[in-house]
Structure 1
Amino acid sequence: MTIDSTAKNQSFLSADCNFENGTCGWQHEEGSLTKWQLGKPNNTEGEPSNDHTYSGWKSSTDPVTGSYMYITANQQEHVTAQITVNIKESNVSRCLSLWHMASKNYSGSLNVITTKCDKGIEKLRNTTNTNFAEEWTMSTVGIEGGVYQIVIEGAWTNISLGFLVIDDIKMNETDCP
């Protein structure tokens, strides 16, 4: 994989995003067979009922509060959805954290792929796989200093139904716990 030559020269973005005001610079990866969707909590069976930012907080005037990114399996097989962001160069180690949740019938993986960029060519690729729960769970990925492209990939291999949700992505300039 090579990094787009314009990506090396563009202004890089923060990875931080709670999705309350859009996707914060996260872009759909070219070639993804399906796309992450920006969504809001609802009470429809088979869809997330709350986002992580507000942790289910609901007011009487706005019963549906918060936003997140999600994908649904929709009885397809061998499908991936990717979003990506290029992050600023840093000389210190960083820790990327994100919150995720999946429905009990979701059969797949959530991968965080970090690619260290050097003159537009992939130097280091680290993939972190995470387990799922039907409640909000935090995962962390350690990132060394440098310029990076980060890809968040939801994938499933079996025909399944269900959803995978991510929210509250945060990059801290510390080592992961």
Structure 2
Amino acid sequence: MGAEKKMLRLLLRVLVLVAAVKGDSADCTFEEGLCGWTKQGSGVEWRRSQTTPGGQESGPAGAHEGSWFVYLDTRNGTYLSEARLEAELEPSEAGSCFAFWLSSHGPELGKLKLYTDGLVVFTEFEDHGPDWRRFSRTLKPAQSQLTFVGIQGPGSLGFFALDDFEITSGPCSPPPPPPDYLFSCDFEDSSCEITSEANVGTTWERMSGGRMGFDHTSYSVEGHFLQLAVTCEGAACAGGTVDATLPVLSTDTLSSDAAVCFRMWYRMLGRGGQRLQVVLDEEELLFDQEDTNTFSEEWFLGTVGGHRDLIGSIKLMI
């Protein structure tokens, strides 16, 4: 009788695990295993663990919740070695939201990328300490595969750790901005009174999809962003500067002793030679980035921080 009960418990456990993988293999707390996620790698590899080799010096103190998580073990790898963690999804008619918790810590971190059907939708390469941070990405109805790719940095003192994967129906809801924001705009509902001064047949337009493909807020083709649109032809397109003014950053809003931070997410998909600049009151250059003619599916963070006397109008210039 005891053997029959043991066999029944084992059978029930197998059925529960199979049902979880059948429904959504992306859902996983890693308490019972990898939940249908598969791993590939040579030298570096994704390991299920309760700790990281370096402790809190180069990884989280423990799992986000529960006892288990996965981390990218780079102790036996070499620079730029890769390891993959993959799951197959059942396509959803309404699309879905994939959420996960990440810890990226250590002085020799490499890079972590998340792909959906071969498209990069998330990248991390910075040390944010041992704490766990939550991220989410909207998946289109037809998307059927998730892949985390961990890339080793210059050494092994640093780990990416992942925990508590969750899939929910429908698109992800963007997090609200912190309450101390002076100005915030994700362009989903409007252009937030940002005005564009057309010059030489070009202008900034609020768009979605197109060559850019997806926005930064939801990483969805339905998401919106500002894009430099060319409306001229031939020789008339040569040269020119386009301004997008944020009127909220004015002397009426900020005091002279305010220390503020301006940041934006940007992509540059040109032919090289163009520059994206952030200029204060048409005089002080705060940010300068050249288009390197390298196609990238990633959004990059541009930040101007700790700036006292950031008063007047901010302009984005090409």
Aligned equivalent of 2:136 = 140
Cα RMSD for the two superposed structures:
2.5
Please report the TM-score for the alignment, with normalisation by the length of structure 2. Answer: 0.42
Specify which structure has the higher proportion of helix: 2
Q: Which has the larger displacement, 91-100 or 156-165?
A: 156-165
Amino acid corresponding to residue 162 of structure 2 in structure 1: I
Q: Structure 2 vs 1, CA of residues 35 and 104 (structure 1 numbering), >3 Å: closer, same or farther?
A: closer
Give CA deviations for 1:30-67 in whole Å, capped at 9, x if unaligned: xx22220010137964453211014xxxxxxxxxxx00
Specify which structure has the higher proportion of strand: 1
Match of 2:161 among 155, 159, 165: 165
Among the aligned pairs, what percent are the same residue? 22
- For 2:156 and 2:53, locate their aligned partners in 1 and report how far apart those are by CA, in whole Å: 21
Aligned equivalent of 1:57 = none
Number of equivalent positions: 147
Aligned equivalent of 1:53 = 65
- For residue 132 of structure 1, report the CA deviation from its aligned partner: 4.4
- For residue 174 of structure 1, report the CA deviation from its aligned partner: 2.3
Is the CA contact 2:106–2:157 (under 8 Å) kept in the aligned structure 1?
Answer: no
Q: Which residues in structure 2 correspond to 1:27-38 (within 5 Å)? A: 27-29=38-40, 32-33=41-42, 34-38=44-48
Aligned equivalent of 1:129 = 123
Q: Which residues in structure 2 correspond to 1:69-88 (within 5 Å)? A: 69-74=70-75, 76-88=78-90
Q: Which runs of 4+ in 1 moved over 4 A?
A: none
- For 1:110 and 1:44, locate their aligned partners in 2 and report how far apart those are by CA, in whole Å: 19
1:113 has 2:115 as partner: yes
Whose RCO is larger (CA < 8 A, sep 6+)?
Answer: 1
Q: Structure 2 vs 1, CA of residues 92 and 109 (structure 1 numbering), >3 Å: closer, same or farther?
A: same
Amino acid corresponding to residue 133 of structure 1 in structure 2: H
Unaligned runs of 5+ in 1: 1-10, 55-65, 116-123
Amino acid corresponding to residue 169 of structure 1 in structure 2: F
